[in-house]
Amino acid sequence: MAHVPGLRLGLLLTAGVTLAAGSGEKFRLIEVPDLEALQKDARNPVTVLDANDQEFREKNGVIPGARLLSSSGGYDPAKELPADKDAPLVFYCSNRL
């Protein structure tokens, strides 16, 4: 699977990356630099989850290291999300409506 150059991928993510953390915040919109900082924090590793469909991934690539969800509309959280319910999660998708 091809990886998109950083700038182009950054433009795709800016409007659609969400973080769910155990810090009391349920969801918040983040920007690409925020994601980069989260990925560098070894004390509190973040799991990046790609909710795009296969066609979009093949055309545009994925964030390196992201887990690919089996379906954007009906994946099994018990099987595809980390067991630690306090783990920070970043979901991203293309939001092609």
What are the per-10-residue average pLDDT scores of the chain (97 residues)?
Answer: 43 42 67 88 89 88 90 80 86 75
Residue at 40: amino acid letter = K
Domain ranges of the chain: 6-73+83-92
Distances (CA, A) of 44 to 16, 55, 84: 22, 32, 12
pLDDT computed for residue 23 by the predictor: 53
> Taking Cα atoms as reference points, which of 30, 70, 33 lies closest to residue 52?
70
pTM above threshold 0.75 = no
Residues 33, 17: contact at Cβ < 8 Å? no
pLDDT computed for residue 66 by the predictor: 93
Output the six-digit token pair for 36: 């980069």
Output the six-digit token pair for 85: 């319910």
Residue 49 CA to residue 88 CA, distance in Å, equals: 11
pLDDT computed for residue 76 by the predictor: 84
List % helix, strand, coil for the chain (3-state, nearest 5): 30, 15, 55
pLDDT computed for residue 24 by the predictor: 58
pLDDT computed for residue 67 by the predictor: 92
